[in-house]
Amino acid sequence: MLDVLTYGEVLWDMIEGKAHIGGAPFNLAAHAVKCGLRAATVSSVGDDDLGRAALGEMDRLSVERRWTLIDREHPTGTVTVSLTGGQPSYVIHEGVAWDFIRLSRDALLELVAARPRAICFGSLAQRGEVSRETFRMVVRALPEAIRFYDVNLRQKFWDRDTVASGLEIATLVKVNDEEARTLGQLLFGCRSTPGGFCHAALSAFPGILAVVVTCGGNGCTVCQRGSDPVECPGIPVQVADAVGAGDAFSAAFLAEWLKGEGAVTAAQAGNRRGAWVASRFGAVPDES
């Protein structure tokens, strides 16, 4: 049985001229493994040096890659990352392999047989029609899985309908504070505090059990259905770069949730792992 299945982009972050393996779904899966879970990623890489290197990194980090396919028509995805005070900004290149994720019927049946306990997804990998339709097929095939939605608004690659459709199927939702403000206005017609966003999302989407709004070094606000919002303080660290810190948070949160812990305990674990990653370079730093 798989614990965690992530769906979407496997790519290379180009930071100050150096390539770092990345993509939120891959990062989350790699950190889930480090948290003691068995994880796999549904994605696609190009038939090129970067693609082969990505598959090698998946093997090195023990992320199951049988559902990460090789696309012979499109290149492996890359992102140009700029850092200002350790905080990243991105240029996400288009027309790449993970925009064209396809699964055969046999691959889908193998995925169903693996019985993942949770499927993790965002909005970015749904920017292309092919990958969006494959995602919908995977979700339909796994009706019992927990659905962890890390919204991840990136550049122009999202719209109201895509975000709302994810909230409609989600069990657990994570956004950062900027995304909470944006979506509070867009979806609920108001400027929203983190706690207000949690309340509005839980009220509007009955399938959601918990919402977390992360606030960088200030920690997060978390609300489980039936409970008031709780502020979980951040952990002070010297930031090296924040790339992947949110994905590390998600993995640690989900690891605790799958153990049966509540949202607050899970969020505290997420804060600890996210802070540790932010204090080091790269999205999936070595544990040493």
Instruction: Report yes or no: 251 and 273 within 8 Å, Cβ to Cβ.
Output: yes
- Residue written as tokens 């009955």? 206
Does position 241 have pLDDT exceeding 90, yes or no? no
Taken in order of first residue, the domains within the chain and their CATH numbers are 4-278 (3.40.1190.20)
What pTM was estimated for this model as a whole? 0.94
Q: Which of 33-47, 86-100, 127-141, 142-156 has the lowest mean pLDDT?
A: 86-100
Q: Which of 18-32, 164-178, 234-248 has the lowest mean pLDDT?
A: 234-248
CA dihedral in degrees (3, 173, 241, 284; nearest 10)? 10
pLDDT on residue 82: 81
Give every CB contact of residue 203 below 8 A, 6+ residues apart in sequence. none
Give every CB contact of residue 91 below 8 A, 6+ residues apart in sequence. 79, 80, 82, 155
Give per-residue pLDDT as tens, 243-283: 789 999 999 999 999 999 999 999 999 999 999 998 887 77
Q: Which uninterrupted H or E stretch holds 60?
A: helix 49-60
Does position 94 have pLDDT exceeding 90, yes or no? yes
Percentage of the chain with pLDDT > 90?
A: 76
Give per-residue pLDDT as tens, 40-80: 999 999 999 999 999 999 999 999 999 999 999 999 999 88
CA 238 to chain centre: 24
Q: How far is CA 31 from CA 52, 62, 229, 262, 276, in A?
A: 21, 10, 26, 20, 12
Nearest-10 crossing angle of helices 177-188, 194-204: 50
Report residue 162's pLDDT band, with 50, 70 and 90 as the boundaries. very high
Does position 288 have pLDDT exceeding 70, yes or no? no
pLDDT on residue 110: 97
pLDDT on residue 86: 63
Between CA 132 and CA 193 the distance in angstroms is 30
Sheet holding 11-15, edge to edge: 18-22, 11-15, 77-84, 87-92
Give per-residue pLDDT as tens, 189-210: 877 788 888 999 999 999 999 9
Average pLDDT of the segment spanning 120-140:
97
pLDDT on residue 29: 98
